[in-house]
Chain A
Amino acid sequence: MSLNKNMRVVIVDDYTTMLRILRNLLRQLELENVEEANDGDTAFHLMQKNPLDLIISDWNMAPVTGLDLLRKVRADARLRRIPFIMVTAESKTENVIAAKQAGVSNYIVKPFNADTLRAKIASVCGVAA
C-alpha cells in the first residue's frame, strides 16, 4: 500500500523558507494537495475548512506554539484523529515527552532529510515507507 496522493496536508511554520522546503519535498512524494500557514491560529482556521489527512507543524512559533496547536487539534472532535507530525529544532527529551503526552503522532528533528520525512509520513498514515 502506498501514500494516498490526494491526501490533504496542512503545513505550519513561521519561517517561509521552511514552508517552501516542506512543500517541495512533499511534491517529490507526489503530495500536491498542500496548504500552508505561518502561525497556529491561521493553521487551525485552515483545518476547519475541508477534510484533512495530515498536519505537519513546527513547534517554536508565536503566539500559538506547535504544542498549543497540537493540543487544540487533539481537543477538537473533528480533528482529534488526524495524524500530527511535529517538525522542530526542539530536540530535548522533555520536548519529545511533552509532545507525546499531548498526542503527537511522530516527531522530526530539524535539520531533517527527505527520507526521514517520507518514513514518518508513511508511518503515521499506516503505509509502508
Chain B
Amino acid sequence: MEPNPANTSRLLDAHGFLDRVIAQLRVLQSPQKDTLVSVLQYLSDHIRTTRSEIGALRQGGDQPLFATTADELEEIVTETARAANNIMDAAEAIEGVAATLEPEANSALMAAVTKIYEASAFQDITGQRITKVVRVLQSLETKLDSLTEAFGSTPELAGAGPHGDEALLNGPQLMKNASSQSDIDALFETMS
C-alpha cells in the first residue's frame, strides 16, 4: 500500500499547527488558556511519542527489523529441510541394511523407518506455517512504512537498538552472513 501524500501532509501540518497554537495561547491572558494549553500539549506530545515508537518498530539496530525477522524465519525453513534430509539419508541407509536381515528383524526395522518418513513431514508443515508468518510480517512492514511516511522521518532514531554487550546477543547468524569455522580460526590467528 502506497502512503497517501495527502495524509502525510495533513499529519505533519497538524503537528506543526498544534505547536503554533500552543505558542500563541501561552501569551494570552485568558483564564481558560491553561486547560486548553495542557490539552493541546498532551496531543502534541502524544503525536511525537507515537512517531518515535513507530520509528523504533521500523528499526532494530543496524538492520531493518521486519526484513531481518523474515530472513530468520526463512532460515528456519532451510535448516529444518536440511535436518529432515539428513534424517532421511540415515533412514534410507537403515532400510538398505534391513533388506539383508532376517524377516523378523527386517519387519521391525522397516516399521521404524516408516515412522521416520512419516515424522519427517514436520518440515513441510512447519515450512508452510512459517511462510504464512513471513507474509503477515511483510504486510505489517508495508503498513508501518505508510505510518512512518505519514509521521515524517525520524532521523533521531538512526542509532536506535541495543548497545554494548546487548548488541552482541544476535543468536545464530543467517547462512549468507555467517562465518565458517575456518573464518573464525583465521580471525583468531590474526588476533593472537
Which residues from chain A sit less than 8 Å from chain B, CB to CB?
A: 13, 15-18, 20-21, 24-25, 28, 60, 89, 110-114
Contact = CB atoms under 8 A, between A and B. Distances in A.
22 contacts: A13-B124, A15-B124, A15-B127, A17-B84, A17-B120, A17-B121, A17-B123, A17-B124, A20-B120, A21-B124, A24-B117, A25-B114, A25-B118, A28-B110, A28-B114, A28-B117, A89-B128, A110-B125, A111-B118, A111-B121, A111-B124, A112-B118
Interface in B62-118: 81, 84-85, 88, 91-92, 95, 110, 114, 117-118
A43 B8 CA distance: 48
Name the interface size band of chain B: 20 to 34
Main secondary structure of the interface of B (DSSP, over half): helix
A13 B85 CA distance: 15
A60 B128 contact: yes
Contacts of A17: 81, 84-85, 88, 120-121, 123-124
B85 A110 contact: no
Nearest to A111: B121
Nearest to B80: A17
B85 A89 contact: no
B179 to A, nearest CB: 27
Interface of B: 81, 84-85, 88, 91-92, 95, 110, 114, 117-125, 127-128
B117 A111 contact: no
Given A25-B114, A25-B117, A111 B125 contact: yes
B92 A21 contact: no
A18 B123 CA distance: 8
B124 A20 contact: no
A3 B114 CA distance: 19
Contacts of A20: 85, 88, 120
Given A17-B84, A24-B92, A89-B128, A114 B118 contact: yes
A112 B121 contact: yes
